[in-house]
Chain A
Amino acid sequence: MPCVGYNSAYVPPEWIAAHQLQPWRPTLRISDAATREGVSQDGCCSCARAFVAEVSSRRDVVGIVVAAVCDQIRRVSEWLIDPSSPPVLLFHVPATWQTSAARQCYRDELLRLGRFLEQIGGQSPTPQQLRHNMMDYDRERQAMRAMFDDLRGRPHADAVAKLHGDMTEDDSPAAPDHATDESASHTPIALLGSTVPRYQWWLYDAIEQHGGRVVLDATDYGERGLPRPFDAQLLADDPLEALAAAYLAMPHVRQRPNDGLFHWLHERMAHRHVRGLILRRNLWCDLWHAEVARIKASACVPVLDLDLDVDASAPQRALGRIAAFMEMLH
Chain B
Amino acid sequence: MIVAGIDAGSRAVKVVLLSTDNGTEPGVLASDLEDSSPDQAAHAQRVLDRVLQEAGHTMQDVGFVVATGYARHLLDFADKAITEITCHARGVQKHLPNTRSIIEIGGQDSKVIHLDAQGRVEDFTMNDRCAAGTGCFLELVARRLGVNLNELGELAEGSKQPATISSMCAVFAETEIIGLLAGGQAPCDIAAGVQLAIARRIASMAGRRLTCPVVFTGGVARTRGMRRVLSEAIDHPLALSPEPQLTGALGAALLAADHARSTTI
Q: Do A and B bind each other?
A: yes
A311's nearest neighbour on chain B, judged by CB, is B166
Contacts of A35 in B (CB 8 A): 204
| Those 10 A-B pairs whose CB atoms lie nearest each other, nearest first | A38-B207, A312-B166, A37-B208, A311-B166, A313-B166, A37-B207, A312-B164, A38-B208, A313-B167, A38-B209
Which chain B residues in 9-25 approach chain A with CB under 8 Å?
none
Contacts of A313 in B (CB 8 A): 166-167, 172, 176
Contacts of B172 in A (CB 8 A): 313
A308-330 interface mask toward B, CB cutoff 8 Å, 1 = contact, 0 = none? Answer: 00011100000000000000000
A40 at the interface (CB under 8 A from B): yes
Q: Which of B167, B204, B208, B209 interacts with A311 by CB under 8 Å?
A: B167
Instruction: Beyond A37-B208, A42-B168, list 6 extra A-B contacts (CB 8 Å).
Output: A38-B209, A40-B204, A41-B204, A311-B167, A312-B164, A313-B166
B207's nearest neighbour on chain A, judged by CB, is A38
Cα–Cα, bound, A313→B168 (Å)? 11
A313's nearest neighbour on chain B, judged by CB, is B166
Q: Which of B167, B204, B205, B208 has the most CB of A within 10 A?
A: B204
Contacts of B206 in A (CB 8 A): 38
Which chain A residues in 20-64 approach chain B with CB under 8 Å?
35, 37-42
Interface range for B: 10 to 19
B92-127 interface mask toward A, CB cutoff 8 Å, 1 = contact, 0 = none? Answer: 000000000000000000000000000000000000
Which chain B residues in 141-161 approach chain A with CB under 8 Å?
none
Contacts of A39 in B (CB 8 A): 207
B127's nearest neighbour on chain A, judged by CB, is A40
Cα–Cα, bound, A137→B8 (Å)? 69
Contacts of A41 in B (CB 8 A): 204
A38's nearest neighbour on chain B, judged by CB, is B207
Interface range for A: 10 to 19
Cα–Cα, bound, A35→B166 (Å)? 15
Interface residues of B, Cβ cutoff 8 Å to A: 164, 166-168, 172, 176, 204-209
- Complex A-B: 15 CB contacts under 8 Å: A35-B204, A37-B207, A38-B206, A38-B207, A38-B208, A38-B209, A40-B205, A41-B204, A42-B168, A311-B166, A311-B167, A311-B168, A312-B166, A313-B167, A313-B172
Which chain A residues in 245-290 approach chain B with CB under 8 Å?
none
A79 vs chain B, min Cβ distance (A): 14
A312's nearest neighbour on chain B, judged by CB, is B166
B173's nearest neighbour on chain A, judged by CB, is A313
Contacts of B164 in A (CB 8 A): 312
Contacts of A40 in B (CB 8 A): 204-205
B130's nearest neighbour on chain A, judged by CB, is A42
Contacts of A37 in B (CB 8 A): 207-208
A200 vs chain B, min Cβ distance (A): 15
Cα–Cα, bound, A41→B130 (Å)? 14
Which chain A residues in 285-317 approach chain B with CB under 8 Å?
311-313
Cα–Cα, bound, A239→B157 (Å)? 68
Contacts of B205 in A (CB 8 A): 40
A309 vs chain B, min Cβ distance (A): 9
Cα–Cα, bound, A312→B164 (Å)? 8
B179 vs chain A, min Cβ distance (A): 9
B209's nearest neighbour on chain A, judged by CB, is A38
B166's nearest neighbour on chain A, judged by CB, is A312
Contacts of B204 in A (CB 8 A): 35, 40-41
B41 vs chain A, min Cβ distance (A): 35
Cα–Cα, bound, A42→B204 (Å)? 11
A190 vs chain B, min Cβ distance (A): 30
Cα–Cα, bound, A38→B207 (Å)? 4
Cα–Cα, bound, A313→B169 (Å)? 12
Cα–Cα, bound, A313→B166 (Å)? 7
B175's nearest neighbour on chain A, judged by CB, is A313
A154 vs chain B, min Cβ distance (A): 25
Which chain A residues in 217-244 approach chain B with CB under 8 Å?
none
A172-193 interface mask toward B, CB cutoff 8 Å, 1 = contact, 0 = none? Answer: 0000000000000000000000
A185 vs chain B, min Cβ distance (A): 34
Contacts of A38 in B (CB 8 A): 206-209
Q: Which of B166, B176, B206, B209 has the most CB of A within 10 A?
A: B166
Cα–Cα, bound, A35→B130 (Å)? 20
Cα–Cα, bound, A91→B208 (Å)? 31
Contacts of B207 in A (CB 8 A): 37-39
Cα–Cα, bound, A9→B90 (Å)? 55
Cα–Cα, bound, A35→B204 (Å)? 9
A37's nearest neighbour on chain B, judged by CB, is B208
Cα–Cα, bound, A164→B166 (Å)? 33
Cα–Cα, bound, A42→B127 (Å)? 13
A310's nearest neighbour on chain B, judged by CB, is B166
Q: Which of A35, A39, A313 has the most CB of B within 10 A?
A: A313
Which chain A residues in 86-128 approach chain B with CB under 8 Å?
none
A307 vs chain B, min Cβ distance (A): 14
Contacts of B176 in A (CB 8 A): 313
Cα–Cα, bound, A37→B208 (Å)? 6
Cα–Cα, bound, A37→B234 (Å)? 11
Cα–Cα, bound, A311→B164 (Å)? 11
A36's nearest neighbour on chain B, judged by CB, is B207
Cα–Cα, bound, A256→B186 (Å)? 54
A214 vs chain B, min Cβ distance (A): 27
B163 vs chain A, min Cβ distance (A): 11
